[in-house]
Structure 1
């Protein structure tokens, strides 16, 4: 049974509890990581990005440019760090560029 909240709870607290009780965090992570990729990479990279998928703690990014894929592969650890900092917790542990 869920803890009853008093009338003075903030909307953010109520939403966090709903996500926790209904085990929706993994689905929220998928959405948050996609948004973080779009915000952090900018229009140049996003124009060559076909698909962004989070499976477990691995981020799979499908790119249409082999040159961009090679360039981004040199900065995987920086990409992981930037996304996790944007989300405020460690969600992504590996990046696979396709």
Structure 2
């Protein structure tokens, strides 16, 4: 019977290795950015948000309120910095509000 090779490591390290080997990081980033959007923006913005998508380094947010879209357009750089701070690294470089 073959012996099992002992590769000791923490679960976090193993998951990071699996994510990097299988090129799953963009999908993980998309989920993390969507969660960050809803947690940072609060219930008022959440109500008017139809879709949140990350394509490359651009965050696309579809809103149902034109007034809210205009209001948020003034703080795009702050939104980018808040989301990147929440994630702990630079994932988003631009925000497009639709």
Asked if TM exceeds 0.5, the reply is yes
SS in 2 for 1:89: coil
Q: Which has the larger radius of gyration?
A: 2
1:23-77 deviations in whole A, cap 9, x for unaligned?
A: 1000101100000001100111000000001001000000000000000000000
CA distance in 1, matches of 2:40, 2:90: 16
In structure 1, the gaps of 5 or more residues are none
SS in 2 for 1:28: helix
- The match for 1:78 is 78
Q: Quick one: structure 1 residues 13 and 5, their matched pair in 2 at CA, closer, same or farther if it must change by over 3 Å?
A: farther
- The match for 1:67 is 67
- The match for 1:90 is 90
TM-score (norm 2): 0.92
- Give the total of aligned pairs: 94
CA distance in 1, matches of 2:63, 2:22: 34
TM-score (norm 1): 0.92
Q: RMSD of aligned C-alpha atoms? A: 1.2
- The match for 1:11 is 11
Deviation >3 Å, runs of 4+? none
